Structures are given as structure tokens and as C-alpha cells.
Amino acid sequence: MRIPGFAAALLAFLLLAPALGFAAPARAAKPIPETTALSAVLIDAKTGMVLYDKDMHAVLYPASLTKVMTGLLAVERLSLDKSVTIDAETPFTKGSRIYLLEGEEVTAEQLFYALMIESANDAAVALAKEISGTTEAFAELMNRRAKELGALHTNFVNPNGLEHDAHVTTAYDIAMIAKEAMKLPAFRKAAATYPYTLERTNKQETRYFYNGNRLLYDEKHTVVYEGASRPIKYADVTGIKTGYTAQAGNCLAASAKRGDTELIAVMLRAEGMNVYLDAISLFEYGFDNYKSFQAVSAGAPQGEIRVKNGAVKTAAIQAGSDAWVTIPASASPSLVTTEPRLPARVEAPVEEGQVVGTMGILLDGEELGVVEIAAAEAVPLGGPLSRIGIPDGTAGRILRILIAALLALLFLAVAYVLLKRRQIKRRNRRREERRARLEAAERKREEFLRKLR
């Protein structure tokens, strides 16, 4: 058993808490537990940080933990109210089943709950065929999706976990798949459901299913934890799935939540009730030593960024998604800081939601994660003046000023012309009056001379 490097560093951080200004823990942190499963892992469900590792990459048989992937794909790919008609082959599926009949009409949701709660292999086959047409094609889909979710050593051959030498995975890979599945409300609800009633169908009477995950309900059986006997039922449990075959042994993917912190524990090849003791030990260790902290909320404003050749000079930016980090349980959130990493400017056009940079999430200077920074608004390509750094708004104001100036000049020109015309008319009128006076005087003079003659 080993603790991953960064998680180990966080544990060491706990010892330095007083010197670094952390709040003192209410009690001593729980030591690293010893688990009985051949392979085990504990992760923070929000961040994926590995908090405990016991040969987590050991390639083993998953048994019905396979159905975590089948259930994930069912929720992702199917409308759960869709009606499914059972074919002739599915009822002959081996192992745990709900004895579906040829021609039986059920909904995808009923098959999904039968898969998750009754661990029905025939329901898994029915879902696989409804999604991909054949179980072989569905297995290919399972493997592609597993790789997308970070699985490293998984090879699924069937949708239910029936024994097959090539059907293998690891505790780490199952944890990565479960982490994604638990983000889906429909999956979360089923993973935490204990009793489920499958109502009467066209072929069979009402059936009742009960979840095999004893962490959800079992107050009768006990395990010995820290020297004391305690019920298997775990108050904070939120799911997920059990599994067993002779080849795989007892397997369990379990989740539990306290406050904002949710943990996922996966145990492969455990013995009997010890699988629940392992889960309880890991959860108690995880909750006592670590916590999830939301460093940034999606959409949180992050200032502005300059835009080259844009209709405006800057664009508002924001956190592209929530950013959760795993920190020591005793750590003060005030020590979590953010570090924007942005270019000097971006080129227009800029689309709303376009990634323009990143932001590091740091704990006392140590990077815990990175979140994208995105444009909070669109910025279209600007007009000609944007090439010299004048945004469209300013360019518009300049244009309006120029138009106003031109209109003023035009008004002055018209006024000047009108004034000149008026002056010319007045001058011409005076000339006419003067000429008329002269002509009148000349007529009088001639008349006077005529009289003298």
C-alpha cells in the first residue's frame, strides 16, 4: 500500500499546519488504514485526487462493478422512459437476473434499476442491445468511453461482468468511471436506492428488488473498526455498486458524502464482509484528513482582456467552470489562491464562451489544479479604425462629430451664400435707386434747359 505523492505531501502539510497558519484540527488525523482487499483506491469525487492507493493499477476482474459503466452509458445514451421489448436471446443470460421473458415490454428505466439494484445480468444485456444493437458493439463503446474518462488498463468484453479472461479493469479505472457516473442525477438516485418495485408488465407480475450494498441498510451485521463493533450501515453513504464472482471475489465501488466533500472508494478481490470494513476505514480516513473546497465558481468574473481589431477594446472574462480542489481537512481556505494566466490580448472576433486563458489554483504556492478562463461576451470584428486601436464605439462618436461638423460647415456655407445674395440684392437695389435718381435729375435738367430755350 502506498499514498500518492501529492496526497502524501498534503498529509505532511498537516504536520506543519500551526506554523503555516492553519486552524488546529479538533482531533489527531486518522492514520493511513490497512485494507484487506487485494487492490483498493480512495479518491475525491469532485477533483479525482487519489487519497489512498493499494495497488490501484493491479489488473483484476471487476465482476458486477462492470455495471457502473453499463449504467452510465444507459443514462447518457437512452431516454429512460423508452419502451424496450425483450428479444429471444436475452432471457438465457447466465448468473444474477430478473428472468426477463421474450416479448416482455419494460422501460429503459426499469432495466436500469434492475441493473443497479438487483444486479441483473439480463437487464444489462437488454440495455446493451438497445444502445448498440449487439453486446459486442456495446463492449467497444464501453471501452472507448472508459478511456475518455481516464481508465488506463480496462478491457470490457460484456455489459454485466460475467467471467471472461479478457474482461479486466483496475480499482483506479472503476473509480474514474464512477466519478463520472455520480455526476448524473438519475445514476446517483439509483445508486442510493435500496428497495425498488418493478410494476406488472405484459408478461409478469410485480417484482421487488433490494440493493445488495449493505452500507445502505444493514444495521444487523457488524464489522470491527478501531477495536469496536459497529453496524455495516454507513450514515453518509451515497452508493454505488457491489460485485461478486468466484474469479473476482468480493468487489465494491462505494461513495459517501459529508458536507461539500464526497469520496469514492473501490475495493477489488476482498473477502466477505471485509469489503465493507475496507470501505468504512477508507471513508473515515478520507473525511478526517481531507476536504473538498470550491476555489472558483463557474461564471465568476475575472476582469477584462484586451481585444485586438475588435468592435470594443476589451472583453469581460469569467471562470469557465467550477474549480474544486482537495486540501487538508485542517487547512484554512484563505490559503487557496488563484493565478490568472492570460495573453496580453486576443484577436477579434471573440465568441462568448471562447477560452482565452487559464487560472491556476494554488495552496500556499503549490498548484492543485487549473481552470479555463473564457470570454463572458462576444466581440465582433471592428471597423476600419479598429486597426489603429480605435474601437467602434469611439469610431462612431468620431463619425458623429465629423458629420455634425460637416453639417455645421454646410449650414455656415448656406448662411454665407444667403447673406451674400442678400447683400448683392441690397447693393443692386441701391444702384437701381441711384440710377433712377440720376435719370430723374437728368430729365429735370433737360426739361429746365428746354424751358430756357
The CATH number of the domain where 43 resides is what?
Answer: 3.40.710.10
Instruction: Give the CATH number of the domain where residue 314 resides.
Output: 2.60.410.10
Residue 26 lies in a domain: no
How far, CA to CA in Å, does 328 sit from each of 5, 76, 199, 322, 405? 14, 34, 47, 20, 67
Residues 332 and 417 occupy one common structural domain: no
Residues 401 and 347 occupy one common structural domain: no
Domain ends where: 387, 405, 440? 387
b or e along 95-117 (b: 16 or more beta carbons within 10 Å of the residue's beta carbon)? Answer: bbbbebeeebebbbbbbbbbbbb
Residue 201 lies in a domain: yes
Domain ends where: 387, 413, 429? 387
Residue 173 lies in a domain: yes
Residue 8 lies in a domain: no
Structural contact between residues 160 and 124, judged by C-beta atoms closer than 8 angstroms: yes
Number of compact structural domains in the chain: 3
Residues 396 and 333 occupy one common structural domain: no
Domain housing 397: 392-452
Residues 241 and 176 occupy one common structural domain: yes
Which residue in the block uniquely carries the three cell numbers 475518455?
A: 148
Active site residues: 64, 67, 119
Residue 10 lies in a domain: no
Residues 411 and 262 occupy one common structural domain: no
pTM of this structure: 0.81
Residues 252 and 367 occupy one common structural domain: no
Residues 225 and 304 occupy one common structural domain: no
Residues 336 and 367 occupy one common structural domain: yes
Strand partners, 52: 42
Residues 259 and 314 occupy one common structural domain: no
Residues 381 and 416 occupy one common structural domain: no
Question: What is the full per-residue pLDDT of the chain (453 aa) written as tens digits?
Answer: 455 555 555 544 443 443 333 333 344 578 999 999 999 999 999 999 999 999 999 999 999 999 999 999 999 999 999 999 999 999 999 999 999 999 999 999 999 999 999 999 999 999 999 999 999 999 999 999 999 999 999 999 999 999 999 999 999 999 999 999 999 999 999 999 999 999 999 999 999 999 999 999 999 999 999 999 999 999 999 999 999 999 999 999 999 999 999 999 999 999 999 999 999 999 999 999 999 999 999 999 999 999 999 989 999 999 999 999 999 999 888 889 999 999 999 999 999 999 999 999 998 888 988 999 999 999 999 877 666 667 666 766 776 888 888 888 888 888 888 888 888 888 888 888 888 888 888 888 888 777 776
Rounded Cα gap, residues 253 and 237, in angstroms: 11
Residues 204 and 219 occupy one common structural domain: yes
Residues 192 and 279 occupy one common structural domain: yes
Torsion of CA 71, 75, 79, 80, to 10 degrees: 50
Domain ends where: 242, 276, 293? 293
